[in-house]
Amino acid sequence: MLRMNVSQKGDRVRVSLDRWTARSRNIRGALSAFGDYRQTRHEEIFDKQCDPYGKKHAALKPATLRRKRQLGYDRRILHATLKLRGSFDLKVRGRSVDWGYTQPYAIYHVRGTAKMPKRSPLEDSRGLAPQDARKLKQDLKRWIFDK
C-alpha cells in the first residue's frame, strides 16, 4: 500500500503546484531556449549535409558537380550560394515555435522534384527528430520545474 502524508508541508506543496501551473501557462522562455538550440541545429544539419534525422542527402549528379566547379561554387550539397541556409526563419509565438525558410525555392529541396531528390533540412511528417524532442522536453521541464 502506498501512502503519502503532506500535512506538515502541505502549504509548500500547494505553493509549488501553483507556481508550476502558472509557469506551464507561459512557456515562452522554454520555447525561446529551444529556438536558440534549433538555430544551432539548423547550421549543424547543413554542415553535415543530412536531414534532421541524420540521413545523408543523396549525392549530387556528376553534371551538377561540374556546373558547381565551373561557377566556383562550394561542392557540398546545399552550399552553392548559401541563400537557403541564410533564409532560415524562426519565430516564437505564444505557445508555439515555428521555423522554415523564406527562399521560395526551399519547397523543391524539402519535397524534391522529378529531376532532384529530396534534400530537406526540415522535419517531415515524422515530427521532431528524437534528439530535438529530448531537448524540447528538457527545456520545458527546466522552465516549469527548476525556476
List the one residue out of 79, 78, 63 whose CA is nearest residue 108.
78
Rounded CA gap, 86 and 63, in Å? 25
Beta bridge partners of 101: 88
61 pLDDT band (50/70/90 cuts)?
very high
SS3 110: helix
Least confident of 9-18, 58-67, 71-80: 9-18
Asked if the model's pLDDT at residue 82 lies above 80, the reply is yes
Radius of gyration over alpha carbons of the chain, in Å? 22
Rounded CA gap, 1 and 17, in Å? 25
Long-range contact set of residues 136-139: C-beta below 8 Å, sequence gap at least 24: 136/30, 136/34, 139/30, 139/31, 139/33, 139/34, 139/37
Asked if the model's pLDDT at residue 15 lies above 80, the reply is no
Give the predicted TM-score (pTM) of the model. 0.76
> How many H helices and E strands in the chain?
6, 2
9 pLDDT band (50/70/90 cuts)?
low
CA 111 to chain CA mean position, Å: 18
